[in-house]
Every structure is written in C-alpha cells, then in structure tokens.
Amino acid sequence: MSNMSNSDLMFSIVIPTYNRANFVLKAVESYLQQDYSNFEIIVVDDGSTDSTKNEVLAIKDKRVNYYYIQNSERGAARNFGTRLAKGDYINFCDSDDYVYKNHLTCACKFIAEEKPSVFHTGYNIISSDKIKFPENPSGVLNEFIIRGNILHVSAVFLKREVALKYPFVENRDLSGSEDWLQWLLLSANYDILGSNEITSAYVLHGDNSMFLAKGENTFKRINFIKKYLEENVSFQNRYGSKMPVVSGSGDLLIALDFALDKKKGKSLKFFVQSLFSDPSLIFSRRVLAVLKYLLLRW
C-alpha cells in the first residue's frame, strides 16, 4: 500500500441493520454524497422484518450491496460484512448514524500521513436536533479506551487484514458492549490512533441500545468483558496491570444503569466498587451522572 495513491485506496463500508428502514437510507446516502468515490457499501440486513430490503434495493448505485442473514446481532453481522469486503480499509457504520462529506477524504489524508492499522476520526452527537461535542482526542487512544468506550464505531477505520484477524466477539450476552471489547482487544495488539477532525454523527434516539440498557443486562455484559480480558493473553501481556481501571469503568456503567432502573442498593454497591477499583474515577462525568440519579431523582 505504500506505493498506492490516495485515489487508489478503497474503502469497504459495512452497515449492519435490523428493522431500521427509517434510518438506513440516510446512512447509505451520506456515503454516496462523499467527496471521495472509491468505496463499496455492504449492507448486512440482520433479519429485519420491516421494509429495509426494499428500501436498500431501490438505491440505484452499483457500489451498494445488500445481504440478508438470519438475526445474529451486530457483531456477527459486522463479521459477515468483513468477510465480503474487498477494500483496503473497513469502516463500520451503524445504520442509525451518518457521516459527513469529508469522512473518507479525511481518512485518506490520515492514512497517507500516519499509515495506521486502526484509527478513529472525530464525531459529534445529534440529540433532539441539538449538537453535542464529546471529547475527540488525537494521538494514541489506547489509554483512553482502557478507561471507557470513547470511540464511535462509525468513526473507526481498520485495515481489512486486521478486521479479519480480529473479528468481533459473537455472543448475545455482549450485545451493547461488543464495541468496547473489540477496541480493548485491538488496543492489546495495535496503537489506535485518533484524528480530532469531525467526520460523522452519532444519532441518539429512543431505540439506541444505550437507552434500552437495563442494569442486570449491563452487569452480564461487563462481567463477560472482564472474564474475556482476564483470559486473553495479548491483553494481559500489554495491559494486565490496567484491569482495575477496566473493572472500575465497567462497574461505574453498571451503577449508572441500575440507578436508571431505580435500584438504589445495587447502584450504590457498584458505584462504591468502581471507586475502590479506580479512585481516579471520582473526577469522571459518569460519577456525576450516577450521583444525579441517586440523589435528585428519588
């Protein structure tokens, strides 16, 4: 790839979707409006029962490819798309998100300058027509990822061979946290680089997995991540000493979701547990969120 010009670089956009006919067209169209044209779009319909198939097949662009699979959750759908990909780099996009016109142009420029195996561009958050700007750090992001999932999946690019070597873990108990586990596992093997140029939007709505999360489910997901990392040799070799940080961040997320469920006792338990694991969390925004729900809403 070192002798490849920017225009020769091909991207594979993998868009898993499930009953998101009202969103997926905007996601696809946002790529078709890119300043950069050398890409393919792989829409993986994860068992939808709505009009998703008809909506996607109505798009008359040879770069758009539609595949239907039996429902198997996002991780498996992403892996299915990865196996079909022909591009040099893969970009996963959730079907309820969209990207800006500079998305692939920015990626090309970053690849030319840094030659990364995995990288992340900046994003903003769209919520009820309001735009929010999360932290979008640049440089090596591994230490940030250890402390929580700061990455937006639609802003992540990785070499195809990396995606094939390290597929998403396919387990329904992990649904909603498969992204964070994936970034943690990639961090054990690569430096994940970041550009703070904003190229995509994370759209918040009532059907987001983060809004549907329940404390008991979050507890199962975080426990799965902890056990998986404890048994992963690569992660233990590079970041084994950071397990208390990962555990603390995970427990704080559990505390927040139990607080949202109005289960005060369980929320307090995991809140205290998180601070014992990683006292520096006391300065995090999520601590304030947990306290707000614990103190002001009951």
The C-alpha atoms of residue 167 and residue 80 are separated, in whole angstroms, by: 10
As given in the structure block, the two tokens for residue 112 are 């030319």
What pLDDT was estimated at residue 283?
Answer: 87
Most confident of 10-19, 67-76, 263-272: 10-19
Statement: residue 190 has pLDDT above 60? yes
Residues 6+ apart with CB under 8 A from 233: none
Question: How many C-beta neighbours within 10 Å does residue 129 have?
Answer: 5
Distance CA 270, CA 180 (A): 19
pLDDT at position 1 over 90: no
3-state DSSP call for residue 66?
A: strand
Cα(50)–Cα(72) distance, integer angstroms: 16
pLDDT at 252: 94
Residue 206's nearest CA partner among 145, 128, 262, 282 is 128
pLDDT at res. 296: 64
CA–CA separation, 198 and 123 (whole Å):
5
Does the pLDDT at position 2 exceed 50? Answer: no
Domains of the chain: 6-207 (3.90.550.10), 213-296 (no CATH)
Model pLDDT, residue 207: 61
Residue 51 has pLDDT above 70, yes or no: yes
| Residues 104-112, mean pLDDT to the nearest whole number | 98
User: Residues near 117 by Cβ (< 8 Å), separated by ≥ 6?
Assistant: 158, 159, 162, 190, 191
Average pLDDT, the chain: 92
pLDDT reported for residue 288 = 86
Q: In the beta sheet, which residues pair with residue 15?
A: 43
pLDDT for 230-247, tens place per residue? Answer: 999 999 999 999 999 999
pTM: 0.92
Give the model's pLDDT for residue 169: 96
Model pLDDT for residues 76-106, shown as the tens digit of each residue: 999 999 999 999 999 999 999 999 999 999 9
**CA pair distance 259, 294, nearest whole angstrom:** 6
* Cα–Cα distance for residue pair 56/43, rounded to 1 Å: 8
